[in-house]
Amino acid sequence: MPHWTTLVAEKKQRQLKSIPQEWLVTPPPLSTLDVTGFPESCGLLSAREIEITNTSVDVLLKRLASAEWTAVDITTAFSKRAIVAHQLVNCLTEIFIDRALARAAELDDYLKKTGKVVGPLHGLPISLKDQLCIEGLETTMGYVSWIGQYAEKNAVLVDVLIECGAVPFVRTNIPQALMWPESFNSVFGRTTNPHNVSLTPGGSSGGEGALIALKGSPLGVGSDIGGSVRIPSAFCGIYGLRPSYGRVPYCGARNSLEGQDSILSVFGPMTNSLSGLKVFMKAVVDSKPWLKDPLAVRKKWDEDEYELADHGSGKDLCFAIMWDDGVVVPHPPIRRSLEMTKAALQKAGHKGFSRLFPYRVVLIEWAVVDWKPIQHKLLGEIAWDIWNAGSAEDFLITTSVTGGITAYQLWQVQKLRQNIRKEYMDHWNATASETGTGRAVDAIICPAAPFAAPPHGKNRYTNYTTVWNVLDYPATVFPVTTVDPTLDARDEKDLPHRFYDQFDQDIYEMYDPEKFKNAPVCLQLVGRTLEEEAVIKMTEIVDAALAAAK
């Protein structure tokens, strides 16, 4: 058996050979922290390719369907930009551009002969997290021991996307075993954040986040068990969606903790253009994935739900602002983004139901209320107890440091989770008496993390996303602003007695405005289980309000 370093070296050589040599560029000096402008200044992309890679998903699809742009041209443009992105931030694992271009040519030929598109994603290049098996390719998921294991068939979602007309062209980097909110492994190394390469892009879908931030893919697929779509989306300044369990098929993909079915990992879209969230979800759901994956939920795309039939048809929406989770107080840029979003919504005419959801007593526009704690810290502990129950055996000697718990102890944790889910539901329903709309709060707007993208190795708290996995609430991430050292200076009035505990203080003391400079600042919008359509629409409304306010 070769030494592991030999296996890795051989794998890296295979990866390098999959890159067209004429697309290799000289990256900027290491002292250049923000590399987002480099793909358009390096000279590799033509003016038309720059135009293509700056075009939103909905417009790309229209131009593909009308044959104004060919699938080959669009796939080539994004492939070139993806290869440049990889040389900047090390975001790719498998590169199969020849296969993608052959597929794109088939799609162009079909459209030319029939005058029809293959499906709703006709000709759209799509990048995939390094879990989604593709026939004939390795899926190492960061494990050296999985090098050389070639997939015999596609994951169900890959088949669905291909049937819809999509063109998979690259797969993206992750942390070994996935269960870490950054992106580093011993096979492919570390992915960095294109807005500031000294910062993490997050994880575990960090390769997707970094690639899409550099516009090397119009639409990608990440997975999320505790925040792995939303954290890299937030850290890289893009849009992302964590759907409810079973809305997107998972069958045939590789994963950690397989067989654990209390808190399921889900696949979700990541994109530069908000239109991409609806395009992806509608295409996948309309393909009837429940006929291909026994765990997929039998729920058709609901256009009435998208038009907010259960939310006053989008009039006088009422959002709850969660300023912090009662465990870790967010850094100044996150607080500023919440204030910006609140002001934008009020200006747009929605009710400013601005209270600390769920912990402290705060001022609403028309009253002062005590807000009942809703166990966010305990929800996070439940998640880790469930994940750790069998993780020692699952990860073997790779990542786990716990021996797990017994089956009976696991049942008690699952029972506790069930009870808290009911408590949270009752709590949400009870807000109907306070919103002034006759309905409960339409959605919660909250941080995706207590900080913008931190330095590598410093992403120490994920509970702002994990609680929604435990509750199975769908959630989007949307961009708001970037860290500005002038606007986001440290508040020296934030004395230790205002912190919840030492951990909270330690997180705050990480903050240095200059270190975080230029990092994207994003927020989450959270809805109720299986209401993806409404969550997407409400995110569009919030995004439009922010754009109007700017």
Catalytic residue annotation: 129, 204, 228
CB 376 within 8 A of CB 327: yes
Would you call 269 helix, strand, or coil by DSSP?
A: strand
CB 315 within 8 A of CB 365: no
Angle of the 57-65 helix axis to the 275-286 helix axis, nearest 10 = 60
Tell me whether residue 128 is annotated as binding.
Answer: no
Smallest Cα–Cα separation from 2: which of 148, 140, 141? 148
For 461-479, b/e burial (b = at least 16 CB within 10 A) is bbbbbbbbbbbbbbbbbbb
Tell me whether residue 313 is annotated as binding.
Answer: no
Tell me whether residue 123 is annotated as binding.
Answer: no
Dist. CA 313–CA 484, nearest whole Å: 36
CA dihedral 114, 119, 125, 126 (to 10 degrees): -160
Tell me whether residue 349 is annotated as binding.
Answer: no
Angle of the 275-286 helix axis to the 532-549 helix axis, nearest 10 = 170
Tell me whether residue 204 is annotated as binding.
Answer: yes
CB 125 within 8 A of CB 79: yes
Would you call 312 helix, strand, or coil by DSSP?
A: helix
Residue 181: Cβ within 10 Å count:
25
Dist. CA 70–CA 99, nearest whole Å: 16
Q: Which residues contact 232 (CB under 8 A, 6 or more apart)?
A: 183, 201, 202, 203, 204, 205, 206, 208, 209, 210, 222, 240, 270
Tell me whether residue 226 is annotated as binding.
Answer: yes
CB 441 within 8 A of CB 320: yes
- Annotated binding-site residues read 178, 204, 225-228
- Annotated binding-site residues for substrate read 178, 204, 225-228
